[in-house]
């Protein structure tokens, strides 16, 4: 009987140990991952040419001159603004954008630009527009470049003083990757 008690005790201890081990076992699993990043070419913009409405004349109740946004800008008028035969220099502002090839970007334009003759006579350029348009944005070509052209509508009063008008400070065009 003594031998039976010992065997029974050994079996009980073994069973209890197995049960105890199982009840205190921790369930866990581990895996791993890598981290990655790609640094792209920063977007940049550099002015190539300034916006120039050329020679204009006005009388009566004033008018506007519209300068298109394109590599070859054209002008049109409303009201009593006219375009003399001697056109002067005419051109949309142009900006070279560069960055990561094929990337899409947005364009922010000023709402208006004020030009002055330096003697308190001003004109406002509004309805600023660009090509590509600020609404659709631009896409850099396969070499990471694109040109933005900027035009607008210049308003002249009927008594606009003759002279050369320039911005007091340059206007900003901002580009940002989408």
Q: 91-102 pLDDT, tens per residue?
A: 999 999 999 999
Convert the pLDDT of each residue in 26-83 to its tens digit.
789 999 999 999 999 999 999 999 999 999 999 889 999 999 999 999 999 999 999 9
Token representation of residue 28? 């866990």
Alpha-carbon distance of 13 to 137, in angstroms, equals 78
Contacts for 47 with CB less than 8 Å, ≥ 6 apart: 93, 94, 95, 170
pLDDT at 128 over 80: yes
Beta bridge partners of 116: 122, 166
Q: What pLDDT, on a 0 to 100 scale, did the predictor assign at position 26?
A: 75
For the chain, report the end-to-end CA distance as a whole number of angstroms: 87
Alpha-carbon distance of 4 to 1, in angstroms, equals 5
pTM: 0.81
């Amino acid at each position: 009987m003594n031998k039976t008690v010992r065997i029974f005790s050994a079996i009980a201890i073994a069973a209890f140990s197995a049960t105890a081990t199982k009840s205190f076992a921790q369930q866990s699993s581990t895996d791993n991952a890598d981290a990655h990043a790609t640094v792209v070419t920063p977007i940049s913009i550099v002015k190539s040419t300034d916006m120039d409405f050329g020679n204009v004349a006005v009388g009566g109740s004033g008018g506007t001159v519209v300068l298109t946004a394109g590599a070859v800008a054209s002008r049109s008028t409303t009201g009593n603004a006219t375009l003399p035969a001697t056109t002067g220099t005419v051109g949309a502002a142009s900006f070279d954008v560069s960055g990561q090839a094929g990337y899409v970007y947005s364009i922010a334009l000023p709402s208006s630009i004020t030009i002055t003759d330096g003697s308190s006579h001003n004109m406002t350029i509004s309805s600023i527009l660009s090509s590509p348009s600020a609404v659709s944005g631009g896409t850099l070509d396969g070499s990471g470049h694109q040109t933005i052209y900027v035009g607008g509508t210049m308003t002249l009063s009927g008594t606009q003083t003759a002279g050369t008008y320039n911005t007091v400070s340059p206007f900003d065009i901002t580009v940002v990757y989408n």
